[in-house]
Structure 1
Amino acid sequence: MSDLDGAALLPPPFLAVLTGLGERRRGAAAWLSVVAGMLFPITWIAWYLKDERPARRAA
């Protein structure tokens, strides 16, 4: 095993930062923005589902 095997589990830093900033802009608390950045794929899925449901109802 390589020393970098565990690094594959960490998000790329720029995606984590952008996700955290986006969550903060959506009105989340600072600590929640940090968590959202660390879990960015899950955050993006949640944003997609939250943003698409009202759009589908309006169509």
Structure 2
Amino acid sequence: MPITLQLRQLDVPPGQRLLVRDVDWSEFEAILRELGESRSSRIAYSNGTLEIRMP
């Protein structure tokens, strides 16, 4: 059974990264909209894998 998390529930410490697999393009776009333009995290997407990295 899939688990749903809110982005605000995630805490990525500085210098670390979080990988999320099996993310489709529409989910990635929704995540970008939710995070907004003024964020400190760096977001990357490739072949269904989302990477959230904190500087």
Task: Give the TM-score of the pair, scaled to structure 2.
Answer: 0.32
Highest Rg: 1 or 2? Answer: 1
Q: Name which structure has the greater RCO, CA cutoff 8 Å, separation 6+.
A: 2
Bigger fraction of residues in helix: 1
Higher strand share: 2
